[in-house]
Amino acid sequence: MEYYPHAIQKKSPFYDERPANEPVSLLVIHNISLPPGQFNTKGIEQLFTGTLNPDEHSFYTQIAGLKVSAHCVIYRDGRIEQFVPFTQRAWHAGVSNFQGRSRCNDFAIGIELEGTDTQPYTNAQYHSLIRLSDSLLSAFPLISCGRIVGHNDIAAGRKTDPGPAFDWGYFRHTLFSKTR
């Protein structure tokens, strides 16, 4: 599966080919809000498409040159935008390690939730994340319950997202009791 049929397709320039013979085997959950703590802005889309205007907000001057992307973003209303095909390598994990393997972007799919570490995510976001994750588990059978992690799990000490506001128990229970 390259594209999620329920996502609005947007094109990021920030991706490349996965290494040859590298199957997708990890799902990484992140959070993002731009400007920090603000929702329903164009900042996330602009960052992932390379069109962020540093004059729009003082924080943007710090990040305007970043070349980052995620496969998908799930907004507060549950809407999903996809920036990178799942078969390609998005640039979301940075310096990372999972079970002794570095460069998690090589074998991971990155999903961003519009949010912060401390503000509860919406029911619409959980619903969309569960539907998307179910599709990804079907398309990429090497992703298992133990291979769905937070950014904090693969970049310990450097990243904290999706944070304590993310309800892992609800997410995992709902995903695996309904679909597996």
Q: Which amino acids are annotated catalytic?
A: 112
What are the φ and ψ backbone dihedral angles of 140, each rounded to 5 degrees? -125, 85
Residue type, 16: D
Whole-Å CA distances, 123 to 42, 76, 120, 168: 22, 9, 9, 13
- Buried residues in 78-108 as b, exposed as e (16+ CB within 10 A): bebbbbbbbeebbbbbeebebeeeebbbbbb
Q: What is the C-alpha separation between 11 and 158, in angstroms, rounded?
A: 28
ω into 35 cis (within 30 of 0): yes
Give yes or no for a contact between 120 and 39, defined as CB atoms under 8 angstroms apart.
no
